[in-house]
Amino acid sequence: MNILKLLSVILLDSSLDYTLPFAVLYVAGLWGLFKKSGLKPWWALVPVARQYQLARCAGRESEGRVYSMVTLGSIVLSVLTILMNYTPAEAETVTVRDLLLAVLALSLTMVRLVYHIRVVLGLIEVYGVKRRWCWLWLTSVTSWIPAMLWGFGKKYQPQWKVEDIKAELARLASHGSAAVMDEGLTVNLEERSATDFFHKKVLLRDIHMAIPQGHMVLLLGGSGAGKTTYLNAINGYEPAKAEVLLNGINMYKHYKKMQYEVGFVPQSEMMRGKDTVLNTLLDAAKLRLPQDVSAAQRRERVNEVMEIFGLTPVKNNLVEKLSGGQKKRLSISMEFISNPSLFILDEPDSGLDGVMARELFVQLRKIADTGKIVIVITHTPDRVIDLFDDVIVLAKDSARTGRLAWYGSIEDARAFFGRDKMEQIVKSVNRKEEGGDGLADEFVMKYADRQKVGGAA
């Protein structure tokens, strides 16, 4: 009997009250359901993974991650419980361990039930049936019934397949590549992907643009839209299936040569508090300038950068004694030492008040005016938007892939999105469950169509 229970638990990803025949019928139903939804049907045979795939069929991929992990915990706990019952001496004894296991089992069951209901409600929407079907999915005795009916009944068909939206959005990749610029940044990114939860996850797709020298560009996008992934692809830190050229030179093929041409300032400040400003920049110069640069030339460059960013009066001060604004300028100075052609900054105004942030962005504007390309992420863009030339808007489409919803001038962006504020533009492409308007697909397609007919971005 215990062997049958173990097989049932592992086969059905569930608690002890399931019987093996119901388990077989349930898994068979999932086989048909996955096939109808455009997934590989054999996922129904894989414990834990099938819960995630079921959530994908329901359009609830994020819930599926939690659902599958909680299911794994339930399986492990159930198997342990069965195995412990093999010992007769412990069968009639209630120990602290038994109580702890009972509490853990109850907690896992409650969490799993919540996510199971969320996934089932998603399936109900996809199949266009009444909500009372949910009750059949909740019990071990009846869950196989909707699984078999929906999986093999001709009457029950999903309104869309898992890959349908991806296929529809993937067609937009045909709008062409950006022309390579001899002076400036050219990005032709086809795809950036990773393996995530039993399947290939496309993080970014079809991003093409050409940014001229001397432009200061704002990078916008909601959480998870792929802003950092995009920047890492540009600077070569996380290469994508792409062609990235800076002033006509391929960044990926000539990475060692081009690493001095790109400056990247992360949001977090990585500086030793006990060092002086001068020593911090001298150390940065050793790392960021070519090896053939002499000590005298390094010091000259450090003095020049300190003057540019107003750090000369505090060059002998300890880093830990600097103000927030001074620390930000020092962090930027460390990357600017190499005099990069492309300067990327991730929230450089984080923690600064309006006045200090404004002064910082004015300085970045001056850097762009020297012929550099400056790309900036900021969560408060509207207070300094007048200093930017262009804006890039990334958005998560229905397949949870980062896509290009806009690249072009600030004024054209306002007209394209029908919003005056940059923060309103971000809200328009954010998903509804994230507090947005859920219009990402609409604007991704609109921008792609604009490019197809030759509209200038």
Q: What is the pLDDT of residue 6?
A: 54
Question: Tell me, what's the pLDDT at 9?
Answer: 57
Q: Over 80: is that where the pLDDT of 429 sits?
A: yes
- Check residue 170 and give its pLDDT: 57
In this predicted model, what pLDDT tens digit does every residue of 254-304 receive, in sequence order?
888 888 889 888 877 777 878 899 999 999 898 888 888 888 998 999 999
> Which of the four pLDDT bands, split at 50, 70 and 90, describes residue 350?
confident
Residue 457 pLDDT grade (very low, low, confident, very high; cuts 50, 70, 90): very low
Q: Which residue is it, tokens 């408060």?
A: 380
pTM listed for this prediction: 0.70
Phi, psi of 21 (to 5 degrees): -60, -40
CA 252/CA 233 separation, integer angstroms: 9
Q: Name, in order, each residue with C-beta under 8 angstroms of 450's C-beta and a sequence gap of 6 or more.
A: 416, 457
Q: What is the mean pLDDT of the chain?
A: 84
Quick one: tokens of 317? 């001060």
Lowest mean pLDDT segment, chosen from 71-85, 304-318, 349-363: 71-85
- How large is the average pLDDT for residues 332-340? 89
Q: How confident is the model at residue 382 (pLDDT cuts 50, 70, 90)?
A: very high
**Which position has the token pair 């009750």?**
135
Higher pLDDT: 76 or 365? It is 365
Identify whether the C-beta of residue 205 lies closer than 8 Å to the C-beta of residue 365.
Answer: no
User: Would the pLDDT of 168 be above 70?
Assistant: no
Question: In what helix (H) or strand (E) does residue 348 lie, and over which residues does it extend?
Answer: none
pLDDT of residue 196: 66
Residue 86 pLDDT > 80: no
Note the Cα 231 to chain centre separation in Å: 12
Is the pLDDT reported for residue 317 higher than 50? Answer: yes
Q: What percent of the chain has pLDDT over 90?
A: 36
CATH topology of domain 167-452: Rossmann fold (3.40.50)
318: which DSSP letter? B
pLDDT of 346 strictly over 80: yes
For residues 312 and 360, the answer to whether their CB atoms sit within 8 Å is no
User: Distance between CA 287 and CA 302 in Å, rounded?
Assistant: 13
Whether 16 shows a pLDDT value over 60: the answer reads: no
User: Quick one: pLDDT at residue 407?
Assistant: 95
Q: In Å, how far are 27, 33, 139, 306 from 20, measured between CA atoms?
A: 11, 20, 14, 73
Q: Of 158 and 352, which is predicted with more confidence?
A: 158
- Where residue 29 falls among pLDDT bands split at 50, 70, 90? very high
**Mean pLDDT to the nearest integer, 8-19:** 53
Query: What pLDDT was estimated at residue 148?
Result: 94
Buried b (16+ CB within 10 A) or exposed e, 265-282: beeebebeeeebbbbbbb
**pLDDT greater than 60 at residue 169:** no
The pair phi, psi for residue 293, each rounded to 5°, is -80, 130
How many residues belong to the chain? 457
Q: Is 178 exposed, middle or buried, given 0-12, 13-18 or 19+ CB atoms closer than 10 A?
A: buried
User: Would you state the pLDDT for residue 88?
Assistant: 45
Strands 184-196 and 241-246: antiparallel
Lowest mean pLDDT among 33-47, 85-99, 198-212: 85-99
Q: What is the pLDDT of residue 10?
A: 56
Band of pLDDT at residue 13, cut at 50, 70 and 90: low
DSSP states of 148-193: HHHHH-TT---SS-TTHHHHHHHGGGGG-PPPPPSSEEEEEEEEEE
Smallest CA-to-CA distance from 332 within 287, 270, 411 is with 270
**pLDDT at residue 51 is higher than 70:** yes
Residue 93: which residues within 8 A CB-CB, separation 6 or more? Answer: none
In the prediction, which pLDDT does 165 show? 54
H or E element in which residue 387 lies: none
Question: What's the rounded mean pLDDT across residues 24-44?
Answer: 91
Where do you find CATH 3.40.50.300 in the chain? 167-452
